[in-house]
Structure 1
Amino acid sequence: MRVAFGVLAVAALVTGYAGLRAYAQGEPELSATPLNLLYWTLQLFVFDSAPLEAGASLPPALEFARFAAPGVTVYTLVDGARLLLAAELRRIRARESKDHVVVCGSGAVAIALIERLRETAERIVMISAAPVTEWGDRKVLHVAGDARSPSTLRAAGVQRATTLYACEADSSMNTAIALAAHDMARPAAGSHLSTYALIPDPELCAALRARRLGLPDRPRLRLDFFNLDELAARVLLERHPVENDRPVVVVGLDAFGRSLLVEIARRRRLVSPYGERLPVTLIDGRAGETAESLCRRFEFISEVCELTAHDVGPADPLRYDLLPGRVPQRVFVCYADQDLALRTALTSRTLWHCGPGSLVVRVEQAATFSRAFEGTRLLEGLAGALQIFAINEEAGDPRLIAEDLVETLARAIHERYLFDAARRRETPDTNPSLLPWDDLPQRLKAANRGQAEDIGRKLASIGCVLGPRVGPDLEFVFKDHEVERLAKMEHDRWLGEMVRDGWTRGPIRDPARKLHPDITDWDDLSEVAKEKDRDTVRNLPEILSSVGFQIVRVA
């Protein structure tokens, strides 16, 4: 429609000029200079062209133009009013939205997140300082402004939102957005806002999550921080798992490469706690130093992985002698610079012989590359070895982000339980709780979450806090009286949870009838049951270290 009226406007301008020139030839008193003709033609668009006041007969071209030009003007006014009204209606809809999702940012992470949210969310409000292209549906509304400003957050209806994602490129900005939204939602009656802030630096993310978990009182509103590299490492290993004892090669130890190595070791410990160590070759300009630092933070890496580090920069060629003797099951190219990662994969012939789907390259976004590689079959000569993995699209998943720190720790608690059960040679036939986290009944998941949420309160009671684990320099061991005190606190927490769920005391554990022999006060508890709670406390430092935290005594 706009194109048609644009053509009509040009036609009115041309025919109006030509018609006025022909008209002026029959009116000697008119000074028909080119500028005057142009001025009179433009006047047609505002219903007022001076030469037409004489009332003489008009040429056909001018007759057409004097109706077409005002018609274009009327259409423009109506369309402008419609756009203004639509923009105002969008602002009102955004401000008055309820139970919606707010996404702050206009970068690749925010766009990928919105694309995922469009599948499930009824309404999404996007906040960005820069103009954005309209999404073309009524689900996504845009609010222009600084998301740290209370007025901008109010314009996005954050008081009535269910979830807010702060996805700007700067960690401090995302933290400020999350805290501002948290403070705005706090006074609102019945507010249930969950706020997630993207922190690109893994160490800073761990520090902020440690402070959040270390709060002695459970926050009324949900506030958490997430790191895209950590989430992407989990998704990558689910998509391209390390399944056997053949070697693994990691090229590039930027944030994603480091997160990937930690996740490989964590999963290896679960499936093979006492088996042969997995050979892992690390190739990076500072591979040796980075590997040593990671092993200090996460001791289990060296327990389950046999690391071989080669200090080879990205400018140096990957020689055959750098790779393990056996053909690797996976080669992960993890450079943060996606052009460098692709160049490494496409120019290092030593990596092309690992088998179909074994060469995985990290990029920011897959849309461009997938069209180039899959649509035109550009890499057909590599026998399908190369796989593109886009962290923004794969990890920008609201379901993954929603698995906050409490969920991460609950998983770690269950993984420790599985690890101890494997040491005792237990099997799912003898212990039905020995299931992967995703297959665990909701009741048992909730029990692990409750234990994780209570860590901050327990530590505060003995003058300790949670911090990011940067090395083994501050090794922590509970004192005997602290173990006893925290074990009693854990039993009291568990007891309250079970009673609220309707359990009562019985001679044997019977989930169907909700009977349990430990539904009693600490003093009346059997020594075996007490020791179980003590072991839960003693295992806490190792559980926390497995996810990058440590206990620090401050008082």
Structure 2
Amino acid sequence: MSDTGNARRRSTSLWAQHEWSIVALAAAMAFLLGCWGYALAMSPSAAGSEHTWWDVVYASFQLFIFEGPDATAGWPLQLQIARALAPVVLLYTAAAAILKRTETQIALYKLLFRKRRFVVVCGIGETGFRIAKQYLRHSDKQVVVIEKDPMNPMAAELAKWGAIVIFGNAMDPVTLDRARVVYAKEVFLCTHDDQANIAAAKAIDRLTRVLSDSDMAAMAKTVQRHEPHLAGEPPYVGLRAFLCVDEPHLYDVFANHPFFAHATDRFAIRIFNRKQTIARNVFSRCAPDMYYMPREESQPPMHVLFVGFDNLVGELILQTALTAHYPDRRRAQITVLCGDVNRERVQRFLYRFPHLESVVSLKTSFHDPLTLSQAQWVDLQREAPFSVAYVAMREDVDGILAARRLNRHRRQLGEAPVNMVVCLNQQTFLAEIIDDDFLPIIDDKSSLPAHEPIEYFETLDETITIDVVVNDALDTLARTLHNAYLDTLAQTEPAQTAAENASIVPWSALPAHKKQANQHAAAHIATKLRSHGCIACDESDERPAIAFPPDESAMEVLAQVEHRRWMADKQLAGYDYGDTRDEDFMTHPDLVPWEKLGESDKEKDRSNIRQIAGLLAMQGKKVCASG
């Protein structure tokens, strides 16, 4: 938002905060000036005066209802000011009272002139509150909030920031229609009830179907004027719905449901897996290889410790399996340290991903992190020392105490520092009062102190943002990656059809699991760059661009890394080796080691490496040396 917009919002907020104090002060001033002026004009204290002090007070009150004298020539200036100020105060108060009764209706009516320039947030909890506040503070879009609980203090706070608050049920089509939801640019379904979110999504889908062609044409012009193109594709004209889901099994069900694959020119829905997005965001700033990068077998393998086993830890493990493919060609080691109460949860997680242990070496230790002994700490690192530890427990206070205890074991045993990242749920105020042992996320890991390398990651504030949830940079890069794949196929295999290869469709028609595969490939570009001392910089960066890959030797290593990454992605998705490619039976003939891969298939991996610099250029970036 511009500085002018910020200044206007601050001034509006200041007036709203002190409005009635100012009105009360003006009323008191009008009354006192009236008393002063009438006292001078009536002289109630003079001998023989026909007026009393009660007459002065009564006459001053009459000023507020236009009962002042008509002819005031020669009357005191104080009375002249009071006669003008008092009715103005009364009129303002009456107008404010009327406006207060109708301001929501007026604001909602104005939305008809802001089609595709506002958003609707259903459910003001941890996620909905942050999304709404992000739009209020960092965009020019109006925000409409639908909240069921009229006593929700977060809804009241958003109203102070300028949101239009409607109290009602987000599943009710009448409430949705009142919020003008069909004309919104985005709608966020963030209630605590997943069934309510789905019902609301279906109701919104039905409402969008009755939009007229003229309405859609007018909104298309608005979108084209205000929204940027993404990866060379025009912006989406319809209403985008974001459905928040935390439970992994529900996400699996929703991701494969036909309704969520349904997209028209009027309505498209995207499932927002909060824990998955948080895990991906954690790794974008705190990936294991940022702390330690094994480059040859003489070095210890990557060994990652996860403390706790909430849904977030499961997603972090998957991120490790999808990204931990380093030049030393060994599987990363993962140790999970959690209480025995998590045993069933761990078993269910492993059941969901039966091929996980073919991608990473996984070990689970069912001990309470808060009571772990030094001997048990040593035993956990019997095979290799920990490279980095991620602490993500259900309660923030437990995570903070666990990190301190494990770090104390390390110091008392005289071990080398272990970088720790504590993921805070931000459900309490603890993130604001943790002491100097904990540091906010530092992008330059080389500047971390050696004595207490503990960083804390505020999961909600860092993740529930417009840039991460809506303007997903990774999704844009994945879209660019897919379009480049289509261009390559058009040149190399022009006769291939969608029946032979389900990926030969535009991005908008791509199945959810194939979109996710492109996202995984896009996310791993940063890992490949770091493995050879490179990073992606903006084109405006003063550092010079360098060639990537740097040489043919690096090319061959990176191509092998890409193949291992691709295999991991397929295996975690449930694919097995098969003589023929079959999407229904989930088999693929290329799920073999690099040495057994045909030369043409190896060349595909090499081509994927060669195009990295070009893909980044399409995003306005270049490859630079990280030093």
TM-score (norm 1): 0.62
The CA distance in 1 between the partners of 2:585 and 2:436, in whole Å, is 51
SS state at 2:250 partner: helix
Q: Which amino acid aligns with 1:11?
A: M
Question: Does the 8 Å CA contact 1:167/1:197 hold for their aligned counterparts?
Answer: yes
Structure 1 position 298, deviation (Å): 0.6
- When residues 281 and 83 of structure 1 are mapped into structure 2, their CA distance, relative to the original with a 3 A threshold, is closer
- When residues 382 and 372 of structure 1 are mapped into structure 2, their CA distance, relative to the original with a 3 A threshold, is farther
1:254 counterpart residue number: 310
Superimposed CA distance per residue, residues 264-301 of structure 1 (whole angstroms, 9 cap, x where no aligned partner) = 22333x55897245142322343443333222211232
Superimposed CA distance per residue, residues 112-133 of structure 1 (whole angstroms, 9 cap, x where no aligned partner) = 3245556986524322334444
Superimposed CA distance per residue, residues 186-228 of structure 1 (whole angstroms, 9 cap, x where no aligned partner) = 232466222221123222222222223797x876742232221
The CA distance in 2 between the partners of 1:155 and 1:161, in whole Å, is 12
1:45 counterpart residue number: 64
Q: Equivalent residues in 2 for 1:355-434 (5 A)? A: 358-365=419-426, 372=433, 377=436, 379=438, 383=451, 385-398=453-466, 400-401=468-469
- When residues 282 and 313 of structure 1 are mapped into structure 2, their CA distance, relative to the original with a 3 A threshold, is closer
1:312 counterpart residue number: 367
- When residues 107 and 94 of structure 1 are mapped into structure 2, their CA distance, relative to the original with a 3 A threshold, is farther
Structure 1 position 104, deviation (Å): 2.2
Question: Does the 8 Å CA contact 1:359/1:385 hold for their aligned counterparts?
Answer: yes
The CA distance in 2 between the partners of 1:445 and 1:283, in whole Å, is 45
Structure 1 position 309, deviation (Å): 2.6
The CA distance in 2 between the partners of 1:223 and 1:446, in whole Å, is 27
Q: Which amino acid aligns with 1:174?
A: N
Structure 1 position 94, deviation (Å): 2.1
Q: Higher RCO, 1 or 2 (CA under 8 Å, sep at least 6)?
A: 1
2:484 counterpart residue number: 443
- State yes or no: 1:159 paired with 2:182: yes
Structure 1 position 493, deviation (Å): 6.0
Q: Which amino acid aligns with 2:129?
A: I
- State yes or no: 1:299 paired with 2:354: yes
- State yes or no: 1:9 paired with 2:55: no
Structure 1 position 233, deviation (Å): 0.9
The CA distance in 2 between the partners of 1:59 and 1:285, in whole Å, is 85
The CA distance in 2 between the partners of 1:283 and 1:144, in whole Å, is 41
Structure 1 position 69, deviation (Å): 3.2
1:187 counterpart residue number: 210
- When residues 364 and 23 of structure 1 are mapped into structure 2, their CA distance, relative to the original with a 3 A threshold, is farther
1:90 counterpart residue number: 107
Q: Which amino acid aligns with 1:491?
A: E
- 97-106 vs 361-370, which moves further: 361-370
- When residues 102 and 68 of structure 1 are mapped into structure 2, their CA distance, relative to the original with a 3 A threshold, is closer
Q: Which amino acid aligns with 2:144?
A: M
The CA distance in 2 between the partners of 1:343 and 1:333, in whole Å, is 10
Question: Does the 8 Å CA contact 1:247/1:278 hold for their aligned counterparts?
Answer: yes
The CA distance in 1 between the partners of 2:199 and 2:488, in whole Å, is 32
The CA distance in 1 between the partners of 2:407 and 2:321, in whole Å, is 27
Structure 1: gaps spanning 5 or more residues: 412-435, 449-486, 498-530, 544-555
Structure 1 position 184, deviation (Å): 0.8
Q: Equivalent residues in 2 for 1:129-168 (5 A)? A: 129=147, 130=150, 131-133=155-157, 142-168=165-191
Structure 1 position 29, deviation (Å): 7.9
Question: Does the 8 Å CA contact 1:97/1:157 hold for their aligned counterparts?
Answer: no
SS state at 2:170 partner: coil
The CA distance in 1 between the partners of 2:269 and 2:433, in whole Å, is 40
The CA distance in 2 between the partners of 1:124 and 1:64, in whole Å, is 40
Question: Does the 8 Å CA contact 1:166/1:198 hold for their aligned counterparts?
Answer: yes
- When residues 5 and 401 of structure 1 are mapped into structure 2, their CA distance, relative to the original with a 3 A threshold, is closer
Superimposed CA distance per residue, residues 512-554 of structure 1 (whole angstroms, 9 cap, x where no aligned partner) = xxxxxxxxxxxxxxxxxxx9994143662799xxxxxxxxxxx
Question: Does the 8 Å CA contact 1:359/1:386 hold for their aligned counterparts?
Answer: yes
Out of 247, 253, 260, which is 1:201 matched to? 247
Q: Which amino acid aligns with 1:258?
A: G
The CA distance in 2 between the partners of 1:491 and 1:542, in whole Å, is 13
- When residues 213 and 15 of structure 1 are mapped into structure 2, their CA distance, relative to the original with a 3 A threshold, is closer
- When residues 64 and 235 of structure 1 are mapped into structure 2, their CA distance, relative to the original with a 3 A threshold, is closer
Out of 236, 260, 268, which is 2:282 matched to? 236
- When residues 341 and 37 of structure 1 are mapped into structure 2, their CA distance, relative to the original with a 3 A threshold, is farther
Question: Does the 8 Å CA contact 2:307/2:391 hold for their aligned counterparts?
Answer: yes
- Alpha-carbon RMSD across the aligned residues, in angstroms, is 4.9
Structure 1 position 372, deviation (Å): 4.9
2:600 counterpart residue number: none
Identity %: 17
